[in-house]
Amino acid sequence: MIGKLSRFVETAIGRLARSLHRLGVKPNHVTVMSFCCSLAAALSFVLVAEHSLKGISAGILLLLSGLFDATDGIMARLYGEESNFGAFLDSVLDRVSEIVVYWALIYSNLVEWSVGLAALSASLMVSYARARGEQLGAKMKGVGIAERPDRLLILAAATFLDQLSVGVLLIALLSVITVIQRIIRARSTMADGQRHDRE
């Protein structure tokens, strides 16, 4: 959903990208900054004892992670610094971030383990559906109601509102819907008769 509004926010994020680039920051550095914010959010869920402070710190760190995650790609395009390794690094660290954050929620008993595991599994499947679909020729960008920025915003909002169980359950449900949407898109766009190895 948020991806479809990227034209409206890209200008603001572009300013941040230019400011960071003037300081010598590269897209891969921003990718790592996003990852570090996710790790810090996970640590906040686990280590911060005071409940309201836990919500504020983790929520802000999740938002910062999402902001940097949106910035690295824009910076790479603005300055012609796109690379296969950069895309690979971004994808891998995004997945590790999701794993760490959801396991922190489960470990801290902030959500039921079954709900947290469902949200994590469905979120990873959203990413896999895009990666595999695009590998086979289907355009997946912007497809689905719960891309990673959407999930981060839902989780941050749930953290601020102290409604983590509701937020994580919502992420699980919307992620399942997104996977189904991407399967439908793949089926409608892939050329009939074109064969690929199955995993």
Q: What is the pLDDT of residues 146-178, one digit of tens each?
A: 999 999 999 999 999 999 999 999 999 999 999
Amino acid at 95: R
**Residue 15 domain-assigned?**
yes
**Residue 196 domain-assigned?**
no
- Please give the pLDDT value at position 188: 87
**Residue 194 domain-assigned?**
no
Q: What is the pLDDT of residues 75-110, one digit of tens each?
A: 999 999 999 999 999 999 999 999 999 999 999 999
Q: How far is CA 61 from CA 33, 83, 146, in A?
A: 11, 27, 20
Candidates 94, 150, 162, 197; catalytic one: 94
Nearest residue to 158 via CA among 90, 99, 100, 102: 102
pTM: 0.89
**Residue 90 domain-assigned?**
yes
Q: How many domains does the chain have?
A: 1
Ramachandran angles phi, psi of 27, nearest 5°? -55, -40
Q: How far apart are CA 121 and CA 126, in angstroms?
A: 9
**Residue 198 domain-assigned?**
no
Q: What is the pLDDT of residues 6-61, one digit of tens each?
A: 566 777 888 899 999 999 999 999 999 999 999 999 999 999 988 889 999 999 99
**Residue 197 domain-assigned?**
no
72 is catalytic: no
Q: Categorize the per-residue pLDDT at 136 as very low, low, confident or very high, splitting at 50, 70 and 90.
A: confident
**Residue 195 domain-assigned?**
no
Average pLDDT value over all residues in the chain: 90
Amino acid at 186: A
Domain at 118, CATH number: 1.20.120.1760
**Residue 199 domain-assigned?**
no
Greatest Cα pair distance in the chain = 59
Q: Domain containing 9: what range?
A: 2-189
